[in-house]
Structure 1
Amino acid sequence: MGQLITPDLRAATPADASSLAALALEVWCATYLRHGINAHFADYALAHFTPQRFDAWIADPTRSLIVSQNRDGIDGFAHMDRANPDPVDGAVTTELTSLYIQPRHQGRGLGAALLHAALAAQAGPMWLAMNAENSAARAFYLAHNFTKSGEVAFKIGDGSYPNDILVRM
């Protein structure tokens, strides 16, 4: 575990879009592609994590992106969507869409700082979907008072992957 730091957090700006896309690609691939990269997953990641998509999310008033920045650039971000009801019963309308920290910066408090900033910005209930096999993420969110409320399937092409829905009231 690295030395705990006090991160510099701020709202994302349009100038951050390409950095956010690159960071998202890095984290998503490191987290979910454990046995190599095939075209099926590469096509999904390259279509989903684009500067244009991040630029649109930054401009969307129903979304918030908070970034953590060190002296060299962005090392993590939290992305919230306030107009996306949870898939279990629709009672919670704000989704923590992603909380991504570059792997080499994990374990130093950035995730907790970004999560707390996201929760403070929301000031209400929040839900998230996480891969059911991601035990590190599960432990992190449970330690931050999220509870499991249900399950969904994350689909890429013809593949289906179990995801847990966690809620913090």
Structure 2
Amino acid sequence: MRRSMTSPLVTVRPATAADAHTLAALAIQVWLDTYATDGVNDLLGRYVLSTFTPAAFAGWAEAPDAALRVAQVDGHLVGYALLQFNAAQPLAPHCDTELRTLYVQSPFTRSGVGSVLLREARSAAHARTGNDGLWLTVNVKNQRACAFYEKHGLAVTGLTQFVLGEERHDNHVMATPPN
């Protein structure tokens, strides 16, 4: 189903365990759409089905050291942001809140959903730590995401790698500037 994306009415709320199946499906869809550009092989299938599980999302929704926010349009989940608190990153020593994931379903990219989720993530970080600083990793080839984070004030602070099977994928470490 395609929607007109002029200006959707986006609401953001904390996720609940009842959102777990929907979040797992959304995460798999977004991850495969972003990274399985040559198709899906066994390694990718196993990765997404073992990583983006309903049990994992139910756990993150209830975890005291995490914050999981969902974006809704017309009652449907269209994106989410997952924060991990007390997550030190040597390449961003001034903040210890990781934005582990910010996913937006493809039809809703460039519609403001990601900006709303990022703003809510920073607000949740501030409420928890007294500081809205975040760090994250993003695949260096995901130019759209890199540009989005730069537009919102995050800067590259270093490089790390995401390992999947025998392959290593370069990821930028990005962070909000120190206060």
Relative to the length of structure 2, the TM-score reads: 0.90
Question: Secondary structure, in 3 states, of the residue corresponding to 2:120?
Answer: helix
CA contact (8 A) 2:92 2:157 kept: no
Relative to the length of structure 1, the TM-score reads: 0.95
Question: Percent identity at matched positions?
Answer: 33
- Indicate the residue corresponding to 1:138 in structure 2: 146
- Indicate the residue corresponding to 1:122 in structure 2: 125
Question: Secondary structure, in 3 states, of the residue corresponding to 1:77?
Answer: strand
Out of 58, 63, 67, the position equivalent to 1:64 is 67
Amino acid at match of 1:161: H
Structure 1: any 5+ residue segments left out of the alignment? none
Q: Does 1:27 align with 2:27?
A: no
Q: Does 1:150 align with 2:158?
A: yes
- Indicate the residue corresponding to 2:174 in structure 1: 166
Superposition pairs of residues 32-71 of structure 1, within 5 angstroms:
32-71=35-74
Instruction: State the distance in 2 between where 1:59 and 1:87 align.
Output: 27
Question: Secondary structure, in 3 states, of the residue corresponding to 2:61?
Answer: helix
- Indicate the residue corresponding to 2:16 in structure 1: 13
After the TM superposition, which segments of 4 or more aligned residues of structure 1 sit over 3 Å from their partners? Answer: none
1:8-47 CA deviation, whole Å, 9 max, x = no partner?
A: 1100011001111100000000001111110011111110
Amino acid at match of 1:131: N
CA contact (8 A) 1:65 1:77 kept: yes
Structure 2: any 5+ residue segments left out of the alignment? none
Q: Number of aligned pairs?
A: 169
Question: Secondary structure, in 3 states, of the residue corresponding to 1:36?
Answer: coil
Deviation at 1:154, TM superposition (A): 0.3
